[in-house]
């Protein structure tokens, strides 16, 4: 648990004790805000007001399971907003590899009634409204929550922003496509309930954030991993147009998650339900949530990360186009920051490899083009194979980012790229390096020594990263060495030290060409 989150909980315990009469001293009322549905009361800690567990939509339960979110019901009196709401249904998180507790523990009970958001805002606010950052968590569209400890927005908010963290439906609850669901939908589509949740949350923010001191016309959506893929999808989603003014996609590359077309996703969903012995969607809605969660096929992980079973769907309406094939068709013309970690390769394959396992991985992923990739990435011994496993995963991200940025430039909007190279401290720092998700605590300032041996240099990097992201959220021009990704040898800004430095996006241009040729021949560079 982060020190900041521990502080919130200590404040909550004290407040509840006073409310229940456990203390002879009357409790001081927490900060109150009136939102569209009624009044809420949060808590104040270390100069930041927190309003936690605010419903932004009606509970998607019963007959509302697998339907578009609806506006929350109003309430009377003052609703407590001092504790996070339930996290959306998912498997119990299990730390693995470098992803220890702070990265995966949702710190909340699981429930279908989970469409909550958290708001952090400075307690002492001046007359000028603050920029807003809406955080979309990662987790492969199947896990995570706004309550994960590293997403505590207090320290980021203390630097002069309103920070909002949102939950959205996950897995089968958020992304099941099925012919019956499409037939009953007014939109005649299914499968993007999680994306619709995000759009509903952004609408709530647009309507209410000024009451927390935020600028409703200066909202930056930001996400990491699957959250970054969601950011890219929201850029292409017509219903999200006008709900944000900038976007930050961290470790989401440029080509999304390889979304299925609606027809394929419906066939996949129908087969899955049929194999589970369920006769209809009506019957499926009557099952308890834990029984629904258990419906899944067996997945072979031996060849690396497979295509996600439940993820956004190209339905022609909510998500009109595959991000990987979007070209310059973007619904939202806003500036974008996008980048990746130096050792992203860990998430694209195992952290170590032999020549044989590396070759098998490349052949499985790149098919007929495998020989060119094998020639570009030496793998004569275990050390070479392990290094190449990391590099090919990282370069895949970077190549997709470069191509996506070029398409975005055709639409007249700049994309600023970065490489985060600081190895994340810990007992496995040499093994995992700057691994996937490792930069998130630096963004939020949730560098807790009880988790990892963070030092003063880490805090300087964290402060610099926060300042750069907030400047972007305010609409300011990013200082040198930041520059739009463009040209034949595109450059990105290397983060991890203070000050940042410019570097070539992919150190070996011939490798970039291999990826470009692969895509030109019909290959795909989606995350999974």
Task: Give the active site residues.
Answer: 225, 344, 436
Q: What is the DSSP string of 283-298?
A: HHHHS-HHHHHT----
Q: What is the DSSP letter of 422?
A: P
Give Dmax (Cα) for the chain: 76
| Angle 1-33-77 from CA coordinates, rounded to 5° | 100
Closest CA to 318 of 261, 244, 263, 236: 236
Q: b/e per residue, 104-128, with b = 16+ CB within 10 A?
A: bbbbbebebbbbbbbbbbbeeeeee
For Cα atoms 214, 417, 232, give the angle at the middle one, nearest 5 degrees: 60
Residue the block writes with tokens 């070996």: 508
Report d(CA 499, CA 525) in Å as an integer: 31
Q: How far apart are CA 214 and CA 45, in angstroms?
A: 19
Q: Tell me the C-alpha distance between 218 and 461, whole Å.
A: 25
Q: What is the DSSP string of 224-240?
A: ETHHHHHHHHHHH-GGG
415 alpha-carbon distance from chain centroid: 18
């Amino acid at each position: 648990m982060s020190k900041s989150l521990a502080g919130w909980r200590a404040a909550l315990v004290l407040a509840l004790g006073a409310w229940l009469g456990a203390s002879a001293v009357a409790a001081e009322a927490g900060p109150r805000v009136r939102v569209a549905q009624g009044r809420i009361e949060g808590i104040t800690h270390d100069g930041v007001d927190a309003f936690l567990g605010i419903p932004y939509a009606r509970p998607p339960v019963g007959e509302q399971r697998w339907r578009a979110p609806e506006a929350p019901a109003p309430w009377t009196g003052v609703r407590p907003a001092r504790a996070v709401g339930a996290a959306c249904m998912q498997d119990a998180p299990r730390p693995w590899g470098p992803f220890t507790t702070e990265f995966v523990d949702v710190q909340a009970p699981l429930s279908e009634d989970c469409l909550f958001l958290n708001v952090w805002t400075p307690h002492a606010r001046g007359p000028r409204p603050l920029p807003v950052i809406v955080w979309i968590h990662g987790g492969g569209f199947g896990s995570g929550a706004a309550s994960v400890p590293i997403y505590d927005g207090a320290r980021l908010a203390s630097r002069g922003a309103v920070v909002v963290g949102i939950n959205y439906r996950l897995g089968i609850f958020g992304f099941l496509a099925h012919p019956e669901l499409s037939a009953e939908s007014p939109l005649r589509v299914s499968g993007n309930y999680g994306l619709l949740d995000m759009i509903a949350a952004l609408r709530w923010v647009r309507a209410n954030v000024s009451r927390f001191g935020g600028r409703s016309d200066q909202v930056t959506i930001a996400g990491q991993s699957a959250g970054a893929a969601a950011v890219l999808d929201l850029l292409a989603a017509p219903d999200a147009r006008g709900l944000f003014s900038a976007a930050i996609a961290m470790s989401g590359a440029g080509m999304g998650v390889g979304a299925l077309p609606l027809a394929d996703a419906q066939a996949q969903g129908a087969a899955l339900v049929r194999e589970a012995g369920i006769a209809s969607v009506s019957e499926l809605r009557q099952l308890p949530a834990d029984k629904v969660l258990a419906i899944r096929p067996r997945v072979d992980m031996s060849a690396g990360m497979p295509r996600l079973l439940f993820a956004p769907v190209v339905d022609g309406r909510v998500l009109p186009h595959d991000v990987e094939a979007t070209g310059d068709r973007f619904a939202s013309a806003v500036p974008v920051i996008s980048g990746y970690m130096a050792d992203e390769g860990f998430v694209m394959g195992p952290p170590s490899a032999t020549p044989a396992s590396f070759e098998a991985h490349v052949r499985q992923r790149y098919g007929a083009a495998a020989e060119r990739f094998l020639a570009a990435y030496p793998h004569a011994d275990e050390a070479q194979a392990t290094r190449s496993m990391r590099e090919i995963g990282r370069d895949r991200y970077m190549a997709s980012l470069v191509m996506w940025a070029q398409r975005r430039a055709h639409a007249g909007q700049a994309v600023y790229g970065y490489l985060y190279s600081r190895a994340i401290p810990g007992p496995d720092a040499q093994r995992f390096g700057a691994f996937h998700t490792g930069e998130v605590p630096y963004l939020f300032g949730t560098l807790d020594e009880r988790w990892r041996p963070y030092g003063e240099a880490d805090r300087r990097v964290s402060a610099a990263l926060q300042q750069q992201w907030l400047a972007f959220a305010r609409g300011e021009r990013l200082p040198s060495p930041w520059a739009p990704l463009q040209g034949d040898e595109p450059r990105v800004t290397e983060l991890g030290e203070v000050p940042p430095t410019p570097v070539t996006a992919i150190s070996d241009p011939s490798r970039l060409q291999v990826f470009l040729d692969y895509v030109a021949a019909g290959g795909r560079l989606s995350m999974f």
